[in-house]
């Protein structure tokens, strides 16, 4: 039982990235347990499996429903009492972290040292997860994989990217070896471009700034990523957000690189036809991640005694879009 436990990867969240990782990992023969928000989605995936499409709409991966285990997160406590989780990938959005932690809290207080790979945009989630699950070994991570949900059980893999996972060689040796064997090697076998990073904090802040520049502007202007580069006034606004973010980082002593501006432009070109996740949320009238992206930069600025006015205005504008009249 214990040997089998080490080979199971639990994926919490069946959004676009959750389906992408679950589908591709399962296709290599990895044992995946996928946890959904609703019972309805769990039933659909169990019936239809997971389908991954490329940009031309061709099926690149299809996993039958009986090749993976899928259940609503509400069943976490009951099912984990039978088969405790060992490797967990958190692939929910920032806004769902609180709800997830409430569901798993009772188990988190009793289980020992699962490894949790945290793949959220923004900052602040690592501390919340560590507080809720103090015995867990956390692996902060960032990814530039692009995926767009097509249905409850299918996604479009809009663009291959790189996944960086924070990793310290100073950690417990046996745990590190198990992580490489059971998680890292499985991700590589599934075709993901994964690297271990000893400077993951730098990667997290780079990704935060990229998201803080691109996402809110696409959401307000209702444009695809590539259209941000179509007019000088749009590039000017991008630069204002970038410069404010760099000022915040400098005030906190956070290391940054001058190449980050060029990387932002490159991301816009590489994902030119994509809708940002924030724009998708706005169009769906769903909660966005603006509070954990631009909002976090605003809060950091205030703690340093400076301001980030452009980020603050966009934060308020996008939060206000969810409010319905009457």
Q: How far apart are CA 18 and CA 23, in angstroms?
A: 8
Q: Quick check: helix, strand or coil at residue 165?
A: strand
Beta strand pairing call for 137-143 and 115-118: parallel
According to CATH, the topology of domain 201-320 is 1.10.1040
| Strand partners of residue 51 | 62, 154
| Angle at CA of residue 319, ends 318 and 320, nearest 5° | 85
Nearest-CA neighbor of 212 among 295, 272, 280, 145?
295
pTM for the model stands at 0.89
Round the CA-based radius of gyration of the chain to a whole number and report it. 20
| Angle at CA of residue 257, ends 251 and 258, nearest 5° | 105
Phi, psi angles (nearest 5°) of residue 150? -105, -20
Q: How far apart are CA 77 and CA 11, in angstroms?
A: 15
Nearest-CA neighbor of 249 among 279, 205, 207?
205
Per-residue pLDDT of the chain (326 residues; tens, 9 = 90+): 444 555 899 999 999 999 999 999 999 999 999 999 999 999 999 999 999 999 888 999 999 999 999 999 999 988 887 778 889 999 998 888 888 888 887 665 555 678 999 999 888 889 889 888 888 889 999 998 988 889 999 999 988 889 999 987 665 566 778 899 999 999 999 999 999 999 999 999 999 999 999 999 999 999 999 999 999 999 999 999 999 999 999 999 999 999 999 999 999 998 888 889 899 999 988 889 999 999 999 999 999 999 999 999 999 999 998 765 43
Q: How far apart are CA 276 and CA 220, in angstroms?
A: 11
Match 């730098």 to its residue by tokens. Answer: 202
10 Å CB burial of residue 84 (0-12, 13-18, 19+) is middle
Domain ranges of the chain: 2-198, 201-320
Question: What does the pLDDT read at residue 169?
Answer: 65
Question: What does the pLDDT read at residue 107?
Answer: 61
Angle between helices 232-251 and 260-270 (to 10 degrees): 140
Q: How far apart are CA 30 and CA 188, in angstroms?
A: 12
**What would the two tokens of residue 90 be?**
């958190």
**Is 2-198 CATH 3.40.367.20?**
no
């Amino acid at each position: 039982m214990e040997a089998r436990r080490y080979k199971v990867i639990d994926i919490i969240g069946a959004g676009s990235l959750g389906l992408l990782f679950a589908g591709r990992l399962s296709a290599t023969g990895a044992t995946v347990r996928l946890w959904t928000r609703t019972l309805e989605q769990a039933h659909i995936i169990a019936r239809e499996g997971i389908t991954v499409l490329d940009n031309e709409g061709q099926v690149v991966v299809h996993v039958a429903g009986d090749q993976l285990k899928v259940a609503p997160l509400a069943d976490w406590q009951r099912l984990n009492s039978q088969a405790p989780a060992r490797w967990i990938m958190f692939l929910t959005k920032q806004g769902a972290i609180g709800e997830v932690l409430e569901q798993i809290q009772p188990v988190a207080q009793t289980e020992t040292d699962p490894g949790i790979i945290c793949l959220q945009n923004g900052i602040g989630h690592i501390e919340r997860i560590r507080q809720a699950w103090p015995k867990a070994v956390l692996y902060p991570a960032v990814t530039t994989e692009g995926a767009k949900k097509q249905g409850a059980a299918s996604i479009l893999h809009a663009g291959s990217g790189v996944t960086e996972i924070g990793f310290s060689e100073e950690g417990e040796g046996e745990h590190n070896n198990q992580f490489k064997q059971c998680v890292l090697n499985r991700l590589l076998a599934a075709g993901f471009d994964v690297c271990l990073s000893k400077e993951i904090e730098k990667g997290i802040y780079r990704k935060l700034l990229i998201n803080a520049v691109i996402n809110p502007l696409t959401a307000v202007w209702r444009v695809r990523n590539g259209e941000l580069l179509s007019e000088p006034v749009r590039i000017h606004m991008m630069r204002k957000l970038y410069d404010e973010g760099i000022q915040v980082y400098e005030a906190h002593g956070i290391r940054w690189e001058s190449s980050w501006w060029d990387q932002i432009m490159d991301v816009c070109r590489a994902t030119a036809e994509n809708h940002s996740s924030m724009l998708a949320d706005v169009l769906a009238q769903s909660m966005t991640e603006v509070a954990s992206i631009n909002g976090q930069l605003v809060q950091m600025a205030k703690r340093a005694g400076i301001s980030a006015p452009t980020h603050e205005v966009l934060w308020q504008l996008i939060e206000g879009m969810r409010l319905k009249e009457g």
